[in-house]
Amino acid sequence: MGGTRGRGWLGPAVAVAPGARVDRFEVFFDLVFVFSFFIITRATALNINGTNLLHALLVLAVLWWSWVVHSVVATRVRLGEGFVPVLMVAGMAALFTFALALPQAFRDAGENAAGPMVAAGSYVVIRLVHLALYLHAVRDSPNERRQLSRFAPELALSTVLLLGAALIPAQIDDSGRASMVRDGLWATVVVLQYGTGLIAGTWGWGVTSAEHWTERYDLILIIALGESVISVGVGSNLLGQPPSWPAVAAAVLGIVFTAALWWAHYDWVGPAARIALHATQGRPRVAMARDAYAYLYLPMIAGIILFALGAEGIVHQIADPHIPLAERSHGPSAALLFGGVICYLCGNMLFQLRTLHTLSWIRVGTVLLLAGSIPVGARLPGLATLTLLTVICVGLVVVEVATMGEARRALHELVFAERTTHEASEAAYRARWHEPAPDEPST
């Protein structure tokens, strides 16, 4: 009786159809999520060192796991239909609060005791919203409820560990020991979450719409690439300086090499992987979705944040009129710039290997060239460093276009034929809207 009333109050959960696409509310949620990437970049850029980079990666890994859980929920229930947007707005508010608290998540308790607690509490709310949605979506599926129980220990322990990371360090007098305990608890959360995803396996849940799953992850990646451009423009103080040819040249180079990295995934790797996921069924599809998208997108996102930090430092130096243009790059900017691109490309190559079972030796050579260019870039002026990176990234595009012509053409023709067929089907369905009513004479 109570269950029936509860269902009536909540309303029906609209299932995701096999051919579903991403809806607008999901993109709205993604914008709030990517704001967290911006905050991570901004907080780390204030003082770039090994400890802060570790903290940024820990926060990113924990944040990304919430995205993975979010995407799993979205495989079962439409996030923009019925009662779901109400809960999702609560989740978005918690996510926004979590993002705002990130700069204080690793502060010493004496500096700001509220920051770590707000971050931990907000994260708990995000996970509880996802849990409530998934419980409602699988209420009539015993198999999926049992699968959900496999993740219950991870949810409970992650919550306890994050709250412990906020509370325990404040009780330790030695700041060094307190920092080690806090970092260790965060690292344990990361190992627990991603380990649970592997141990729990693929039994009991599925990816109904391969189109929806791949489009969702592709959108978050492209939004992250766009966020890196915003981060460089805002953080490097380009908006606060009068335009000069070095600053304009640096901005153009930043756009060009980011576009080349976009091309590296979206020209053929992403579309071919989408087809590969469509072609698999059952547990193999779930395993591919988990490994390639939920896990291997993380190093690509991490790479974007790292090269955004490096590019920001270099562009800031170039735009500063008080720094000679011929002065070499300052600090770790060149290493972060090239290292971030290496991380992105390595993640993309692992993604290609998992989905397509192939490896591009052109990209392996590009990664080796980038690694060898780090000491060179660190000794060059900032504008020359950006130019070197851009030449290598654009060179990758040119070489692949020249050597993979037939394969790329065949893939693009297949994608075009699929899209054309789909659009024709939609047009035929919508043609009924132009048909006269039964009692209405035709003209």
Q: Which two tokens stand for residue 207?
A: 């990816």
pTM of the model: 0.90
Tell me which residue of 64, 63, 58 sits closest to 44, measured CA to CA: 58
Same domain, 80 and 49: yes
Residue 82 structure tokens: 């019925």
**34 in any annotated domain:** yes
In terms of residues, how long is the chain?
443
> How many domains does the chain contain in total?
2
CA distances from 309 to 69, 188, 265, 285 (A): 27, 26, 21, 35
Distances (CA, A) of 148 to 139, 216, 227: 11, 22, 33
Which residue has tokens 């805002």?
234
- Does 201 share its domain with 170? yes
| pLDDT at residue 108, as a whole number | 67
Q: Give the integer Cα–Cα distance in Å for 403 and 340.
A: 26
Indicate whether 217 and 331 sit together in one domain.
Answer: yes
Please check whether residues 78 and 153 belong to one and the same domain.
Answer: yes
Domain boundary among 162, 183, 205: 205
Closest Cα to residue 68, out of 163, 161, 207? 207
User: Domain with 369 in it: what CATH number?
Assistant: 1.20.1410
pLDDT reported for residue 73: 82
Please answer whether residues 76 and 33 qualify as being in contact, where contact means their C-beta atoms are separated by less than 8 angstroms: no
- Residue 440 within any structural domain of the chain: no
The last residue of a domain, from among 151, 180, 205: 205
Same domain, 212 and 192: no
What residues are paired with 404 via a beta bridge?
none
Does 1 map to a domain?
Answer: no
Neighbours of 146 (CB within 10 A): 12
Enumerate the β-bridge partners of residue 15: 77
Query: Running DSSP on this structure, what letter comes out for residue 240?
Result: G
- Give Cα 258 to chain centroid, integer Å: 16
Tokens for 184, please give them.
């260790």
Question: Does residue 361 belong to any structural domain of this protein?
Answer: yes
Q: How far apart are CA 276 and CA 191, in angstroms?
A: 29
Q: What is the pLDDT of residue 187?
A: 94
Structural domain of residue 385, as residue ranges? 208-423
pLDDT at 78: 81
pLDDT per residue, tens digit, the chain (443 aa), is: 334 344 444 556 677 777 778 877 888 888 888 888 888 888 888 888 998 899 999 999 999 998 888 888 888 778 777 777 888 888 888 888 888 888 778 876 555 567 788 888 888 888 888 888 877 777 766 776 666 777 778 888 988 898 888 888 878 878 788 889 999 999 999 999 999 888 876 666 778 888 989 999 999 999 899 888 887 877 666 666 677 888 889 888 999 999 999 999 999 999 999 999 999 988 899 999 999 999 999 999 999 999 999 998 898 888 887 888 888 887 899 999 999 999 999 999 999 999 999 999 999 999 999 999 999 999 999 999 999 999 999 999 999 999 998 999 999 999 999 889 888 888 888 888 877 766 655 55
Whether residue 218 sits in one domain with residue 289: yes
**8 Å CB contact between 37 and 305:** yes
Report if residue 100 sits inside a domain. yes
Residue type, 32: V
Q: How far apart are CA 207 and CA 189, in angstroms?
A: 26
CA distance 138 to 142: 8
Residues 253 and 276 in one domain: yes
Q: Cβ-count burial of 94 within 10 angstroms (0-12 exposed, 13-18 middle, 19+ buried)?
A: buried
Other beta carbons less than 10 A from residue 345's beta carbon: 24
- Do 410 and 330 share a structural domain? yes
Same domain, 227 and 298: yes
Amino acid at 260: A
Q: Based on the domain organization, do 129 and 231 belong to the same domain?
A: no
Examine the domain organization and report whether 218 and 183 are in the same domain. Answer: no
Cβ(264)–Cβ(307) under 8 Å? no
- Distance between the two ends of the chain, CA-based, in angstroms? 56
Q: Compute the distance between CA of residue 224 and CA of residue 218 in angstroms, rounded to an integer.
A: 10
Whether 434 maps to a domain, the answer reads no
Which amino acid appears at position 141 of this protein?
Answer: S
For residues 353 and 410, membership in a common domain is answered with yes
Q: With contact defined as beta carbons under 8 Å apart, do 385 and 334 qualify?
A: yes
Residue 380 lies in a domain: yes
Final residue in a domain of this structure, among 205, 220, 244:
205
Residue 162 lies inside a defined structural domain of this protein = yes
